[in-house]
Structure 1
């Protein structure tokens, strides 16, 4: 599409509003040419789905300055970063746009040229958080189960502890507590945070826990016979797929990483 010129704060605000201020969009690229022209390529979602394999429709738009008076850009650029929003307004010498990408991107110029480059379709990629997960069990396990099972796997005493505290008896903390090796209590403040949720969901979050402890917690959970699913990032794993992922680091097809109800 042909470009059109934006020379007033009102016109800039109208264009940003049309693009939803690129909330949860992306700063995909920043390009410079020898003449001094700077062009930023933004993406915003016309259709968005959070689950692996969801259909996405993305509008790709360019905002360019033929004669920029100032330009600050993050190095390196992270095109997959989700923007909070893009702001714009007036400066003493014209207009500006600014966002956190992460790192500040700010472009100032007497005027901008904007155009829509394309509309593309994609699929939501699986995203796993390797420092946390939630397990759903068909049968409740008491707090003693976790310290006993993790400790037996490691061959070392494992205890419950509050943040920065010493060992505590199991069951004292209704919302959750940290699992930690007894030998590491004096050199750490946390461990693996273990939180209860409605039903039989249990969350585990690695916080100042060593690799061996985190491995043992994930292994114990994966071996629970009545494990029904594991949730992490935007993925929901069936038990066999979770075991496979822990063993190989390879994700199953996106269709098997969606909640069973979908």
Structure 2
């Protein structure tokens, strides 16, 4: 689901990586509800906030009248519950941003294939962080075999926890041309980010890059609906199809109507 907000104070700033602020906001919205079963379900993930921005020393400065948050879950009743709680708020604060929820669009079912190329809407994490340990910050180049092995291991564990049967290993191929271009321009595709688990901060290495994945369709649907890698519930690892960027098909979802979400998004 694509949640569109009006920005009440154009020019306001949030940290460059603001997933921890979004995670807290979403958790707070869910906590307002009375259904403890749905509040604690936790089967969701989300993108960063999208809009017209400028990178400055203090973070991201937003200049658009509207901003968008992509929120994904495979469970329609949970999505309906979350939107009910969200639209009960006239205004929400995210860092210095003042947001007013306007409407929600449903992304129509996408044409997933056994070999699909994705872009990262939020950084993906392959190594889990531990308290007072720098292991989670280690850099593993996406071309290294261990990068794919770690993603395969995490995906298998998450699918098993979701009650899904096991599948052959994913064949993961990073976009080499993109990586070379980024490195040649002295930009970064991997950064250190802070995640909060039970209000304890951890530092992790997050990667933002295009990559192709070859896997059964059931695996693609799982990754598209629930993200890839670690800390997906904290706003990491959201994927989008490369060919849909700028060509997205959506339908009104809220408040005009609420239909059964087919794609989880």
* TM-score over 0.5 for the pair: no
Tell me: higher relative CO, structure 1 or 2? Use CA pairs within 8 A at least 6 residues apart: 2
Is the helix fraction higher in 1 or 2?
A: 2
